[in-house]
A and B are shown apart, each in its own frame.
Chain A
Amino acid sequence: MSGVQLEGLSKTYSSPEGPVHAVRGIDVSVAAGETVALLGPNGAGKSTTIDMLLGLARPDAGEVTVFGRSPADAVAAGAVGAMLQTGELIRDLDVRELVAMVASLYPAPLDVEETLALCGIGEIAGRRTQKLSGGQTQRVRFAIALVSDPELLVLDEPTVALDVEGRRGFWTTMRAFAARGKTVLFATHYLEEADAYADRVVLMAHGRIVADGPPTEIKAIVGTRTIRATLPGVPLDALAALPGVASAERRGEAIVLTCTDSDAAIRALLAAHPQAADIEIAGAGLEQAFVQLTGDGAGRAVTA
């Protein structure tokens, strides 16, 4: 069974500052039953990609197929459930009623009560939607995406408004849903989420795909740390050869080591050069990792 295919997709928006190339020709193939994370910093083009996948935006070029159909046909058949990045709930209904209202639009929805329980909102089922907290609203939006029992579940930055506990509960539910053979695509800018909950990670930056592979592979690419220390007079070659160090550079009196394994690197550094001072170890962060990966800071990103 074919899953989701994105072929040669691109999308440019016009903005007051001129055209914004949100997505610049991407190819992604998601097999049925797979859980894929779309990982990238804000403005990478994730939401625009999701809008095209759902048929909410028309690509300038390229094609989307969802289980062999156009997005519109897949949506009309009730095969797609999605939690969009932004969006409030409509008012004057309680939580249970809103979920039931959405369920009524689908040919074979899940049981409403069970969906509420599953999403951890059974206790607030009788509360009006306009009286919910941000985290509660987010869970109701998840219930709305799930209640249709979709073949494809699309989640755009789903845990933004949730606290730590809420996140854990959310992902547990998502995993249980995916375990039923469902296809899941979620966008996130948290490496940990992509690493922990996806079978595969597609890394996006500046509207392009910069890496696509299993989480361990992606983690090795973007999960780097840097060690910074004052250490004059030591040749860079010797530093770059230390275990766990990918590259070394000098900035005046200081050296900066980009590490794949910062623990091993710091031990080796101190053993070899005990005079190293002012040591700082920092996570590179996605943004920085992406700038390195894409090799330019020039492609202006959009927050779409």
Chain B
Amino acid sequence: MSALRRRGHRTGGASLNVTYLRFELLRTLRNRRFLFLSLGFPLVFYLLVAGSAHSERNLAGSGLSAPLYYMVGLVAFGTMSAMLSSGARIAAERQAGWHRQVRITPLPPRSYLSAKVMTAYLMAGLSIVVLYVAGAAMGVSLPAGRWLEMTGLILVGLIPFAAAGILIGHLLSVEAVGPAMGGGIALLAFLGGTWFPIPDHGVLHVVGQLLPSYWLVQASHVALGGAAWGTRGWVTIAVWTFVLARLARRAFERDTSRV
């Protein structure tokens, strides 16, 4: 036993570190269900939907080409899945009792959650890249500044979903989290405009504008010049973020104070 060596070069300790994050990422990439939902499924549907309408330059009067519109529509689908999958992972780890094991390490609960959110964002980034590449292959072409602006809006629009992931991870059981996520994402994607442009009046328009998924899809409007979101978009995202972050915080605190 005296032969045991300590590792001198470790940077570990209380805060998050690269090694820990790397393994979190590796775990996510090895999860087939996740890869299917946030990468495979959106890509296949993009190729099907945009492929069949790839010469459409003005989809349903939106002013956007079909390949661009569906690219962002399916980015919304894939990134929502990526963000909410952190909830599935948190729920699974709670059920396994792993959260108790983590609580007796120097990793603070907050850093545990940060790692989950950062992993979710990296996965969302992967989903974005995959669909952008597919989009470019389908003829989507934008000035570099527009690509960046669009990506920025999507990343901001995902903040409420980061909070939602933490919330459902602490609220739902492993059995409930799958159906809740699947159903929730399908509905949000549908009402947000993933599959067809939301008309600019009527019930769908009113409902859509209240949802964060609508604004994710709406990021494609950067292509038309001017602001893709407007005040309404920013306020909607801010309100969802505020409400979900508060709920997530409450669920998290209740969970960590319990045995």
Q: Are B101 and A100 in contact (CB under 8 A)?
A: no
The chain A residue sitting closest to B34, CB to CB, is: A92
Q: Are B26 and A93 in contact (CB under 8 A)?
A: yes
Chain B interfacial positions (CB closer than 8 Å to A): 1-7, 10, 12-14, 17, 19-20, 23, 26-28, 30-31, 92-93, 96-98, 100-101, 103-108, 259
Grouping DSSP codes into helix (H, G, I), strand (E, B) and loop, the A interface class, with mixed when no group exceeds half, is loop
B97: contacting residue among A87, A102, A106, A148, CB under 8 A: A87
B3: nearest residue on chain A (CB-CB)? A114
Given contact pairs A89-B98, A106-B13, A82 touches B1 in the complex (Cβ within 8 A):
no
Report the stretch among A50-58, A157-165, A198-206, A223-231 that lies at the interface. Answer: A50-58
In the complex the two chains form, is A89's CB within 8 Å of B19's CB?
A: no
Contacts of B96 in A (CB 8 A): 87-90
Q: Is the CB of A97 within 8 A of B97?
A: no
The answer to whether the Cβ of A151 comes within 8 Å of any Cβ in the partner chain is: no
- Contacting pair A82 B104 (CB below 8 A): yes
CB-CB under 8 A from A90, the residues of chain B are 27, 92-93, 96, 98
Interface size on A, residues (CB 8 A): 45
B4, A91: Cβ atoms closer than 8 Å: no
B98 neighbours in A (Cβ, 8 Å) = 87-90
DSSP class of B's interface residues: helix, strand, loop or mixed? Answer: loop
Query: Chain B nearest CB: distance from A143 CB in Å?
Result: 12
Chain B residues near A78 (CB-CB < 8 A): 12-13, 105-106
A residues with CB within 8 A of B: 51, 54-57, 75-78, 80-82, 84, 86-93, 97-98, 100-112, 114, 118, 144, 148-149, 176-177, 179-180
Residues of chain A within 8 A (CB-CB) of B17 are 104-105
Chain A residue numbers with a CB within 8 Å of B28 are: 92
Contacts A75-B106, A104-B17 given; indicate if A176 touches B1 (C-beta within 8 A): yes
Asked if B106 and A93 sit within 8 Å, CB to CB, the answer is no
Chain B residues with CB below 8 A from A105, complex form: 12-13, 17, 20, 105-107
Please indicate the chain A residues that have their CB under 8 angstroms from the CB of B26 in the complex.
92-93, 97
Residues of A within 8 A of B1 (CB): 118, 176-177, 179-180
Contact yes or no, A92 B27, CB < 8 A: yes
Q: Which of B1, B28, B97, B103 lies at the interface centre, i.e. has the most chain A CB atoms within 10 A of its CB? A: B1
Which one of A109, A110, A114 lies within 8 Å of B12 (CB-CB)? A109
Q: Which residue of A lies closest to B258 (CB)?
A: A57
Q: List 9 A-B contacts (CB under 8 A).
A: A78-B106, A81-B104, A86-B97, A97-B26, A101-B19, A102-B105, A107-B13, A144-B101, A180-B1
Q: Which residue of B lies closest to A98 (CB)?
A: B23
CA distance A249 to B208 in the complex (A): 83
Tell me whether B23 and A101 are in contact (CB under 8 A).
yes
B106 touches A106 (CB 8 A): yes
Contacts of A87 in B (CB 8 A): 96-98, 100-101
